[in-house]
Amino acid sequence: MNIRITPHVLKGNIEAVPSKSQAHRVLLAAALAAMQSGEETGFRISGTSEDVRTTARCIKALREAAAIPRKPLLTDCGESGTTLRFLLPVCAALGIDTTFTGHGRLPARPLSPLREEMERHGVTFSDPDDKGSSAAAPICRIQGRLSGGEFRLAGNVSSQFISGLFFALPLLKEGGSVVITTELESTHYIDMTLDVLRDFGIVIELANKGPDGIGNTYTAAGGQHFVSPGTVEPEGDWSNAAFWLAADSLGSDIGITGLSLGSSQGDKEILRVIRDIESSDVIDAKNIPDLVPIIAVLAAVKPGTRTITNAARLRLKESDRLASMAKCLSALGADITERPEGLIIRGAGRLTGGTADGCGDHRVVMAMAIAATVADGPVIIKGAEAVAKSYPGFFRDFRKLGGIAERI
């Protein structure tokens, strides 16, 4: 689906969609509580994204497989890295023979060092015999039961590896610990996981805290039980709200409800970025990688030169987001240079119209839609349907706010 956007300011009020990151975590914790004690958890998720639906579907299959001894599990993780990286250690902790498949770039995204640590603790990885549907690509098959002990993980590859183990270790009789061997990035996602686990009665202690997270040791006692809190109220999603907040700072007039300043979501940092961007020449993306596409738009429009750093991990997302944003913003007249770990953007105060390829990446598409509101001429975005991954109603809300977006 291609969309043509005619530049126009946005105006009105909008409610933040529920947090996708929190939804993944609550769905898994709720499933484990139900499997251990039969307790169900109330959690309403409106406007569900493709990723969250994927997690819900995979967890349903997990519950069915766990109820039948020695039943293998075949699970299609779609394009959701969170689903895959959370379920790998959990399925292994439950001793379920599981085949994982996926779509898009997911099968090529890294599993190291989680894979090596799981292999060191009794899990066998192999190529799948049953590859599922013809549309899905094989990722791996795991067999054996995960054993406890010490897991050593780099902190600068994916916080999802760490979070996945946080869900798995309390299920083991002997428990275990996670030791961070490098500087820890995306710390807010780890905090969010710990918050959700705490709500479900799981205790994970930070036994040792090192500089920049190096040497952090998180310990989980074994034999813990997930206990349903009854009902969980979903938080508004700061990651997706960031697009509207950025638009507001670029001249639109948007009010957003449903966001909590006390949230552990790291992307509430968008408020600080917006406040400080005109006086900043370096923006460190270490703990806010998902904000980089919209920050790049802000930097391209605001006069001045800015460097986005510590963003190399973005090359392993739904697209190579550094390359994608450099290509898209260049197509609209921005002066942008791609670097191995970031971007250099020389804001000229304006963008032209043009055509941008969304690269099959939801955050790239949404960022370009906001850029289009302040361009000099119409902007065509190719592959706009990618927003369904995290925010299916994005263009509906865009039009609700007065945006002019036509399907072509």
Active site residues: 290
Q: Find the helix or strand (DSSP H, E) in which 266 lies.
A: none
What are the start-end ranges of the H helices in 94-237? Answer: 114-120, 159-168, 187-199
Q: How many helices (H) and strands (E) does the chain have?
A: 12, 18
Q: Find the helix or strand (DSSP H, E) in which 275 lies.
A: helix 270-276
- Contact between 169 and 220 under an 8 Å Cβ cutoff? The reply is yes
Helix pair 362-372, 321-331: axis angle to 10 deg: 20
Query: What's the longest Cα–Cα distance across the chain?
Result: 63
Q: What is the DSSP string of 325-382?
A: HHHHHHHTT-EEEEETTEEEEEE-S-B--EEEE-TT-HHHHHHHHHHHTTBSS-EEEE
Cis before 128 (ω within 30):
no
> Counting Cβ atoms within 10 Å, is residue 32 exposed (0-12), middle (13-18) or buried (19+)?
buried
Amino acid at 285: A
